[in-house]
Structure 1
């Protein structure tokens, strides 16, 4: 099993559709990352190591794969990072099989095909067992996108960004200048501003990154407009 990102750690976050999940053990929390579907979506299963309670970020696709990861431990919560179709294709089957509570931001909830049981806003806390995640609302990729912050260790936070931040830049804003400005402004104010370079980024597609790797490129991103 992979562990935290210290010296010699095995976790890389490099997963492929049809391949094995990658597992990271943090203090109090185990993160399992898997790639699913034709658009290489990442889904993240979080498990509180004290209580065993589990939370899934984005029931994106391949319900059998996700239910296999969940296993007999059950699933308490599914958080949808944003309303786009590729992030919710397994949501109905996963919630029907597990009875998990659905969570999403108010501004995206109506467009999600499964009713949202709990609406969240910027700064709201979402629990997985004894672990607390904080929702960070970022407007631009969609009106109600949220990132989820785990900062039990403030020097080494972990941030699940959905489609708002990737290696190489912000998420797609479809050439809309106002949406791009909103998203990058939000990232600078709520993510790059308060969080340290050691913050580990778990995106909605592809490989992981850190804020330290991306921070030098902020001016470049703003200048190019995407």
Structure 2
């Protein structure tokens, strides 16, 4: 009945969303597999993995207004566009300038007329013009919800994380390639960049946010700050 009432792409989209809600969110997604959907206070979060570099992309939809924000239009524009609900995609935030995080950006922007945002230090390295240059401490909005921009220097000069402080819940942190389960992002053998990144990650994330903070990285599985906190000394000692 549902499939007959909707056109074929819309029926697929709705049935996929319903299926996702039957499974508890654990953040584990695979390229070509279904997205994972998590309902937060004020936002619905959809995580999907896209190839060829197994990147994560995150769609945030405001519960009150239906407006949507995409974090990293990494690749596979049709996959990303297929996540969208009926509300407008108002903004695409690119966490840093590396190519695998913006390969679908031009196509997504063309299809949706969404604005683009990136840190001012990385914007020149992204071939799609940046409409909203970001700085540390700025806030971006998706409908009635707000995310804080946190500048983390080291993986690239303009890498950022986005923090959503869920009302009545835990903080949610989208870290791009600056923090993963098991360590900070790749600094390509530069001791200076490593020291910069781990200092920023310690001071701006671990020193400030509680253990229950959920971490959504640019690749792979999710984690929490509490899971990673005991290993900060190990990361410093190994230098990566």
Which one of 43, 51, 61 corresponds to residue 37 of structure 1? 51
Unpaired runs of at least 5, structure 2: 1-17
Could you state the TM-score of these two structures normalised by the residue count of structure 2?
0.90
Kindly state the Cα deviation for residue 37 of structure 1 after the two structures are TM-superposed.
1.0
Match of 1:49 in 2: 63
For the residue of structure 2 that corresponds to 1:175, the secondary structure is: coil
Given that 1:11 and 1:22 are in contact with CA atoms closer than 8 Å, whether structure 2 keeps it comes out as: yes
Which one of 89, 97, 105 corresponds to residue 83 of structure 1? 97
Hey, what's the Cα distance between the residues in 2 that align with 1:144 and 1:191? 16
Q: Which runs of 4+ in 1 moved over 6 A?
A: none
Which one of 102, 120, 127 corresponds to residue 106 of structure 1? 120
For the residue of structure 2 that corresponds to 1:110, the secondary structure is: helix
Kindly state the Cα deviation for residue 59 of structure 1 after the two structures are TM-superposed.
0.2
Hey, what's the Cα distance between the residues in 2 that align with 1:32 and 1:71? 11
> In the TM superposition, what whole-angstrom CA distance separates every residue of 1:5-42 from its partner, at most 9, and x where no partner exists?
xxxx8000000000000000001100000000111000
Hey, what's the Cα distance between the residues in 2 that align with 1:37 and 1:170? 22
Match of 2:7 in 1: none
> In the TM superposition, what whole-angstrom CA distance separates every residue of 1:57-103 from its partner, at most 9, and x where no partner exists?
00000000001111443310000000000000000000000000100
69-78 or 133-142: bigger deviation: 69-78
Hey, what's the Cα distance between the residues in 2 that align with 1:117 and 1:150? 22
For the residue of structure 1 that corresponds to 2:150, the secondary structure is: strand
Which one of 179, 183, 188 corresponds to residue 165 of structure 1? 179
Given that 2:152 and 2:201 are in contact with CA atoms closer than 8 Å, whether structure 1 keeps it comes out as: yes
For the residue of structure 2 that corresponds to 1:150, the secondary structure is: strand
> In the TM superposition, what whole-angstrom CA distance separates every residue of 1:145-185 from its partner, at most 9, and x where no partner exists?
00000013476100000000000000000010000000000
Shift in alpha-carbon separation, 1:154–1:81, aligned structure 2, 3 A: farther
Given that 2:66 and 2:86 are in contact with CA atoms closer than 8 Å, whether structure 1 keeps it comes out as: no
29-38 or 64-73: bigger deviation: 64-73
Match of 1:202 in 2: 216
Match of 1:12 in 2: 26
Which of 1 and 2 has greater Rg? 2
Unpaired runs of at least 5, structure 1: 4-8
Hey, what's the Cα distance between the residues in 1 that align with 2:178 and 2:49? 17
For the residue of structure 2 that corresponds to 1:35, the secondary structure is: strand
> In the TM superposition, what whole-angstrom CA distance separates every residue of 1:37-57 from its partner, at most 9, and x where no partner exists?
111000000000000000000
Shift in alpha-carbon separation, 1:220–1:45, aligned structure 2, 3 A: same
The answer to whether residue 89 in structure 2 is matched with residue 94 in structure 1 is no
Match of 1:223 in 2: 237
Match of 2:206 in 1: 192
Count, aligned residues? 222
> In the TM superposition, what whole-angstrom CA distance separates every residue of 1:100-120 from its partner, at most 9, and x where no partner exists?
010000000000010000001
The answer to whether residue 132 in structure 2 is matched with residue 118 in structure 1 is yes
